[in-house]
Structure 1
Amino acid sequence: MLDFTKEFKEVKIIPAVFWYIFTLFIVIVIASIKGILTGDMDLLDNENLLSLISTTLFIIILLYKFRVNKDKLLLMIKDYLEKINIKEIFGVVTTQICLSMGISLLLIGIVYFLFPDILNKLLSESSVAEASSYGGLFIAMIITVICAPLMEELLFRAIIFKRISKKFNIYIGVIISSLIFGLLHIELAIIGAFIFGIACCILYLKYKNILIPMTVHFFNNLLAFLPQLDLNATTDTSPMTNNDAISSIMFGSILLLIGLSFFIRFIINNKKYLKSGFSPKLSQDNIYLN
């Protein structure tokens, strides 16, 4: 079986983080200079467009650092098409949706009973749409559905998870990389993001092909983004009540239990792949053999 966890050049964590910060810095500097010279600061104020440009540049740099070429990419795509398990992919996505929605609803209900005024203010502010035009919506969709899965899987799974696992062990690699991944998703579903990171690590180990967790990430983000597609949709900004909070806790608990049961079953069915870990890198002569 082809193993694409070892057929590309290793990329270290610190240089990868440096290039991420550097690309973001360069894009902001160029946008600032353009704004000063032209007197038009619209580009600098467009956070989504700046994020799209910097993320795209970072992905290109990572692909170069991994020494991705046409032959290896085509071979990896062929391997992906032979290995992909649609049922498992949608099972993981369903698990993540149940967990994220369950945790969010549960936390919203609990926070309401502790700090009702603060929660209603936060919910009111979050109801304001970030994208006010179809152009802005399209950019936001590209970032969320395409760029984020590409960049985050390369960074968190193919670099951070892999490097930490080799330095310590697989379990530490899974926990630390998924914890960082979760902490950088600061919305209420941060715990769901942590669990999602664990699932993607296992899929990367199981299939030895980063395109598999990228696909799961793509469908997860696509489903999460769908509610934003209607710019004309009205949002209910009425304050939450005690009954709303109780319903939120009840439905959140049910979804959380369903998601946890799916996740535990996923772990049990795939625990053997955690024991296998990463194989030593093949020599250049053996890259296309197996």
Structure 2
Amino acid sequence: MFYATVSEIARRIADAYGICMCIEIPVGTPCIILNTPKELRETEIIEFAKKLIQNISSNQKLRTQAYIGSCYKGFYGICQSFEEAKIALNYRNVIVYDDIIYYQNIKNTNMPIIYSTDVQVKFENNIRSGNLSEALKILDTIYQTNFSQRTIAPEIASCLMSSIYVSLMRCAESIDAEIYKYVCEKSELLTNGNIHDCYLSLKDICEVICNKINMQKESRKAELKRKIELIIEEYITSPNLDQTFIAGKIGITPSYFSCLFKELFNVGMSEYISKRRCSLAANYLKESV
């Protein structure tokens, strides 16, 4: 039924045109071959393609693209045009927003992906630290660099998306089994949809991983803060209670402990201990009166 509808639409608007093209729709890829006694101008081909896309989209409520080969005379010319249209169709996942993809415009596509080791390491480090904003900036730059001002072959584009996905898998594996399983289950995004949709899905995965890391950070901070509070309470009267003593108890260097304490308690350690001792002394005094 669908093919009959497409054929009828094509028949109604194709009387004066002739060209071989592929029209992509979610349920199939019909090939429309039209013959004409006269040579077509490029403007006529474009006009026909736009009319056909508009009619199919409005009648079937589908997002439609046309893929056009060169215009040749004779039967073998039509076959060659058809092969070119199929090549243009292969770029549907890379050239997403154009209604018409011309075989003639697909040139110099075998360029390497731009995803250097330095960029990869920086991207993964930001993910592992839970720095979502910086990670997304890097991902945006990778996408813009590779796709905004050039067209690369679909296979190369898929390699780039796979490389980024593998980076996210490595990060997820270093967190816990649950988040790693989640990322593994998203592997279908590499084969379904277009490159832009894949890129958006990768951004979603970045957010999930970073949120998980930051939740774990907050949980670990709360646990560590409570541990420090208990140590101080236990040794509050000891003359040895200082930065080095507590740092040794929790297994970190004194210099790092100083910064960590201020981050957790929003006050310096000496001031905190002094206030706790004053509070304790005041309570003792009140009880002794």
The TM-score normalised by the length of structure 1 is 0.24
Which is richer in strand? 2
Which of 1 and 2 has higher RCO (CA within 8 Å, sep 6+)? 1
Relative to its length, the structure with more helix (as a share) is 1
Normalising by the residue count of structure 2, what TM-score does the alignment of the two structures yield? 0.24
